[in-house]
Amino acid sequence: MELFTRSLENVTSNFPDILSALDETETKDLIAEGEVVAINPTTKKYLPFQALMRRRRKYNIQQITSAYPVILNLFDLLYYNGLDKTHVPLFERRRILEEIFGTQKTSDRIILIDQIKVSRIEEIENYTEKALKNGCEGIMVKNPNSQYRAGAREWAWMKLKKEYSGEVTDSVDLVIVGALHGKGRRVGKYGALLLATYDAERDVFCTICKVGTGFTDNVLIDITDKLNKHIIKNKHSRVESGNTKMDTWFEPKIVLEILSPEITLSPVYTTAINRIKLGYGLALRFPKFTGKIREDKSAEDATTVKDIFEIYKKQLK
């Protein structure tokens, strides 16, 4: 058995515990889709993506395996017993997976992802809330008759993520300090904005992410007009951006409200740089603009580096 990422990188050596569990299965002739996730060994709740990344190393594999236990959540089946299963309906692919891995047939390291059949929106909402409380990013809604189409969900598969619900994810207020020029429909406007937190102790702004989603055409025009009043030739002296290159730099003036499901370590951004790991700062994963420009806040009122650091620490508990 071997484990591959979606980009076909072989990561088998990073997960000897999962490999051992897979070797206990009765069949070796299958290709399945799943996700390895880090878990809290006491509560069994999922840990942030960054905890899983600590398993991606070349040395001291056994030591890190004990420190960061993981499980393999299985989603789907593509190939089994010499036959392509991608054209078989989802409910049948699930049945085969249950025959192979269901009801304690294998180690507790391999889990068939939980699923329910629903007929009402309220059932989806309740199930989503349950998934989020367990540390998931969201849920997948799938047509039980759907075939498996790699890279194409269309309307047969839909992802509902936590950042789509303002009741679930707290927002942060970040300062625009730079931008990349837009392409396609965004020609003449800015395509992605570089955002920063405020370090109150040093009176500087530290980068944390680039955001390009959540903008309507009208709002993007409005933001572009506002930013054009604050263009500067070079990066502002109070902005710490590492090696990040931007097409345009701005005075730190305009604050946006941003949603994100998770904070991760990053070698690119400078928020809380070196506080967790040498050469790494903190970044927002999948940031999305809420549509709200915080005109009631100055740049110095933005979310602070300390705030982000505290949120990150809470994720790991």
pLDDT digits (tens, 9 = 90+) for 160-189: 765 544 333 567 999 999 999 877 777 777
> What is the C-alpha separation between 183 and 215, in angstroms, rounded?
14
- Partners of residue 284 on adjacent β-strands: 263
User: Which domain does 56 fall in, by range?
Assistant: 12-164
62 against 207, higher pLDDT: 207
Are residues 135 and 182 part of one domain? no
Are residues 189 and 126 part of one domain? no
Mean pLDDT of all residues in 68-81? 89
Q: Looking at residue 76, which CATH number applies to its domain?
A: 3.30.470.30
Least confident of 33-37, 41-45, 274-278: 41-45
> What is the C-alpha separation between 41 and 49, in angstroms, rounded?
16
> What is the C-alpha separation between 104 and 111, in angstroms, rounded?
9
Residue 123 has which token pair?
Answer: 């059932």
Q: Which residue has the tokens 């993506």?
A: 49
102 against 175, higher pLDDT: 175
Q: Which residue has the tokens 């994810």?
A: 169
Are residues 183 and 154 part of one domain? no
Are residues 195 and 114 part of one domain? no
Asked whether residue 1 is domain-assigned, the answer is no
Are residues 106 and 36 part of one domain? yes
> What residue type is 56 in one-letter code?
R
Asked whether residue 307 is domain-assigned, the answer is yes
241 against 45, higher pLDDT: 241
Are residues 239 and 296 part of one domain? yes
Q: Which residue has the tokens 């395996």?
A: 65
Domain boundary among 148, 164, 180: 164
pLDDT at res. 104? 47
Least confident of 178-192, 209-223, 254-268: 178-192
Are residues 277 and 147 part of one domain? no
**pLDDT tier at 103 (50, 70, 90 boundaries)?**
low
Among 134, 26, 46, 32, CA closest to 85: 32
Domain boundary among 100, 130, 164: 164
Are residues 133 and 112 part of one domain? yes
Domain boundary among 134, 164, 194: 164
> What residue type is 105 in one-letter code?
K
Are residues 202 and 127 part of one domain? no
Among 112, 109, 83, 90, CA closest to 100: 112
Which contacts of 153-161 are long-range, i.e. CB under 8 A and separated by 24 or more positions? 160/124, 160/128, 161/137, 161/261, 161/286
> What is the C-alpha separation between 236 and 30, in angstroms, rounded?
55
- Helix locations, 195-265, DSSP H: 217-228
> What is the C-alpha separation between 20 and 37, in angstroms, rounded?
16
Are residues 302 and 206 part of one domain? yes
Q: Looking at residue 212, which CATH number applies to its domain?
A: 2.40.50.140
- Helix locations, 38-190, DSSP H: 49-53, 61-67, 90-101, 121-133
pLDDT at res. 127? 85
Residue 238 makes CB contacts below 8 A (sequence gap 6+) with 203, 204, 205, 252
Q: Which residue has the tokens 């509902």?
A: 160
The total number of structural domains in the chain stands at: 2
pLDDT at res. 183? 77
Q: Which residue has the tokens 């600590």?
A: 54
Asked whether residue 180 is domain-assigned, the answer is yes
